Amino acid sequence: MDRTQLRTWRTFITTHATVIDLIERELAEARQLPLSSYDVLLALVEAPNRRLRMHELAQAVVLSRSGLTRLVDRLEQEGLLRRDRTGSDRRAIYAVLTLKGFRAFRHAWPIYAQGIVKYFVQHLTEQEMSTLSQMLGRVLAAAHESSSPTSPEP
């Protein structure tokens, strides 16, 4: 790895961490959901019937299973989601968005959106955003490909 590659990597991870921290701070100052909670609710808002199996939810929010379990426990205690075993596979546990959870999600969105614009979007042109999205999409696709089980060769 050369210096440019390492510098690019470090800039990427430092920028990500810094922007996330700034948005987290603004959400906390506005007494809104933490970003991790918001991301769980977002995944459920976007899911069919606003429900996901726990392992699907873990993939959607990039949390470890134990981290997700603790977060889901807290969100369930707050009434923002509920666990459910009904569905085609009664062995699976689903996280299901509640009306209170949807309202909390909607209430936090303006602060989150403002942070995205303030700390990210306003510093990039449309072309840069398109290029960045394509580049990161390739990296993400390759990472998903690397992490998925390969089928045995005949």
19-40 pLDDT tens trace = 999 999 999 999 999 999 999 9
Q: Is residue 119 part of a domain?
A: yes
Total structural domains within the chain = 1
Q: Is the pLDDT of residue 3 over 90?
A: yes
Q: Is residue 120 part of a domain?
A: yes
Q: What is the model's pLDDT at position 147? A: 77
- Count Cβ neighbours within 10 Å for each residue of 11-20 and write b for 16 or more, e otherwise: eeeeeeeebe
Q: Is residue 30 part of a domain?
A: yes
CATH number at residue 82: 1.10.10.10
Q: Is residue 154 part of a domain?
A: no
Return all residues near 24 (Cβ < 8 A) that are at least 6 apart. Answer: 34, 35
Q: Is the pLDDT of residue 50 over 50?
A: yes
User: pTM surpassing 0.85?
Assistant: no
Domain limits at 99?
3-142
Q: Is residue 151 part of a domain?
A: no
Q: Is residue 150 part of a domain?
A: no
- Residue 151 — very low, low, confident or very high, per pLDDT cuts 50/70/90? very low
Could you give the dihedral angle defined by the CA atoms of residues 16, 23, 47 and 129, in that order, rounded to the nearest 10 degrees?
-50
Task: Return the structure tokens found at 2.
Answer: 């050369």
Query: What are the pLDDT digits (tens) for 87-124?
Result: 666 678 899 999 999 999 999 999 999 999 999 999 99
**Under a CB-based contact definition with an 8 Å cutoff, are residues 57 and 44 in contact?**
yes
Mean pLDDT, residues 56-76 taken together: 86
